[in-house]
Amino acid sequence: MRRTNFKGVIIFLGLTVCYVLGEADLGLDTTKPKILDGKNVPNNPTRHAVKSIQSEDGDIIDCIDIYKQPSLDHPSLKNHIIQLAPSYNPNMEEIQTSEQPLRSVTSQVWQKSGSCPKGTIPVVRRRTHNDDELLSNSRKKSPLTVHQRNHSKAILLTEGYNYAGVKADIKVWNPHVESDDEYSTSRISLRSGPWYDFESVEAGWAVNPGVYGDRQTRLFIYWTVDASKKTGCFDLTCPGFVQTSHEIALGAAIYPISVFRGLPYQITLFIFKDPNTNNLWVQYGERTNIGYWPPKLFKTLTYGAECAEWGGDVYSSKLEQVPHTETQMGNGNFPDYIDGNSGYMKRMRILDISLNLKFPEWVGTYADEYWCYQSQYVSDYVVDPEFYFGGPGRNDLCP
C-alpha cells in the first residue's frame, strides 16, 4: 500500500500572492462585461468554412481556413504571421513501456464522423443563434466570461522560479454539475503578475453547460490578461488563441470517459513557451500541437510564469454558503490514491528556463473548502509523484 508523504509539502506565506489572494473574493463587479478589448465575439467564422461535419453528439464542426480563423481578428494580431509548428519540442521524455497499458487513449466524439483537411482548423459551431445573442450572454454573470469570483479549487502548485511550461496526464471524468450557470474543470495552469492583475493560461477538460450548452466532458483552454476583471476567454470564443491543428477541436467532447473500476482514460496536456518566438503552445497527447497564444497578448507571461498549478476548479455562486452547490469536482469523490477513484494527475512536469522538463523542486497543496473538495499529494512508493483531488460539494460536512 502506498502512503502519502507530506515532507517538504509546505504552504509558504508566499503562496498567498500566487494563489490565495489571486483566487479569493477580490471584490470584483462580476456583472461587468468581461470582453477582450471590447471585442469578445469574433466575426461569424462559418462563412470561411470549407467543410462542415455533423457529429453524433449534436455538435457541428466547421473546418475553417487556417488563415481566416477568428483568432486573427484580435487588434494585436493584425498582420500576424502564423507559426505552423513550434521551433523546438521540449517533450523529451519517453513513456516507459510499463506505463503504456495504464495510459488509455482518448479522442473526440466528432472524429468518428469525419476529419478536417490540412490547411483548416476544426471549430465547434456555437449553439447560440447569432453573434448579438452571444455578446448579450457574455455581458451576463455567466461562466463564459466570469472566471475569477465564486471559485473553489483543490490544487497542487509550485512557485519561486521562472516557469516556461506545465504538463500532466489528467484523468477524464464526467462530474455532476448542478446548474447551467456552474461548471467543473480539471486543468493545468501558468500564471504571472500581481494578484490583483495577473495573467494566466489554462488547459484541461470541463463540464460547462453555460458555455457548451450540455453536460458533456469537453476539452478547453482559457486565458486572461487582467485577473479576469475585464478580459477572459474560453477556447475560440474571442480572438487571440491561434490554432494550427486540423485534428483537435477546442470545446469538443472527449471520449471515452473513465468509470469506476474501468480503464483510467486520461488526456495529456502540455503548455510550453517556444524559446525562439515566445509563443505559448498547447500540446495534446505527446505529438499534437493545437496552437498557441502569441506573446503580444501578454505583458509578463511572455517572459515566463511565476506559478504553475495542477488540479480541479468548481465555479458556482453557491460556494461558502448554505446550502452549498452539489456540483462535483473530479468524479465527485474525495481523493482516492489507492483505487484512483477520484480526480488525479500524473507525470506532472514543469519546463524551466533552461528547457529542462522535470518535476518541480518543491510543491504545495491547497483547497479552498476542505470539507467540500480536497487535495492529496503522494510521493512515497510510487515511480513518480501523483496528485489526487476532488469532492462531492454538498455533503454532511459541507451542508
Please state, in angstroms and rounded to a whole number, the distance separating the CA atoms of residues 20 and 366.
9
Which phi and psi (to 5°) does residue 129 adopt? -75, -35
Residue 29 has what pLDDT? 36
Q: Which of 103, 98, 126 is nearest to 42 (CA)?
A: 126
**Are the C-beta atoms of 220 and 185 separated by less than 8 Å?**
yes
Is position 163 within any domain?
A: yes
Please state, in angstroms and rounded to a whole number, the distance separating the CA atoms of residues 156 and 170.
13
Is position 10 within any domain?
A: no
Cell numbers given for 362:
518543491
Is position 190 within any domain?
A: yes
Is position 294 within any domain?
A: yes
Q: Which of 221, 231, 202, 198 is nearest to 301 (CA)?
A: 198
pTM of the predicted model over 0.95: no
Q: Write the Ramachandran bin of 240: left for phi over 0, alpha for psi from -120 to 50, otherwise beta.
A: left
Output DSSP code: residue 335.
P
**Burial of residue 381 (number of CB atoms within 10 Å: 0-12, 13-18, 19+):** exposed
Count of domains forming the chain? 1
Cell numbers given for 388:
489526487
Please state, in angstroms and rounded to a whole number, the distance separating the CA atoms of residues 225 and 107.
30
Is position 398 within any domain?
A: no
Please state, in angstroms and rounded to a whole number, the distance separating the CA atoms of residues 359 and 362.
8
Is position 4 within any domain?
A: no
**Are the C-beta atoms of 389 and 375 separated by less than 8 Å?**
yes
Please state, in angstroms and rounded to a whole number, the distance separating the CA atoms of residues 66 and 25.
39
Low-confidence ranges of the chain (pLDDT < 50): 1-17, 19-41, 94-101, 129-147
Residue 131 has what pLDDT? 45
Cβ-based neighbour number of residue 97 at 10 Å: 7
Residue 277 has what pLDDT? 96
Residue 302 structural domain: 15-390
Q: Which of 326, 327, 344, 341 is nearest to 388 (CA)?
A: 344
**Are the C-beta atoms of 193 and 306 separated by less than 8 Å?**
yes
**Burial of residue 236 (number of CB atoms within 10 Å: 0-12, 13-18, 19+):** buried
Chain segment 47-78, per-residue pLDDT in tens:
789 999 999 999 999 999 999 998 898 898 98
* DSSP H or E run through 131: helix 131-138
C-alpha distances in Å from residue 393, one per residue of 173, 317, 372: 16, 13, 5
Please state, in angstroms and rounded to a whole number, the distance separating the CA atoms of residues 381 and 1.
8
Is position 8 within any domain?
A: no
Output DSSP code: residue 99.
G
Residue 2 has what pLDDT? 43
Is position 47 within any domain?
A: yes
Residue 146 has what pLDDT? 39
For residue 109, give the 3-state DSSP assignment. Answer: helix
**Burial of residue 312 (number of CB atoms within 10 Å: 0-12, 13-18, 19+):** buried
Residue 97 has what pLDDT? 40
Residue 396 has what pLDDT? 98
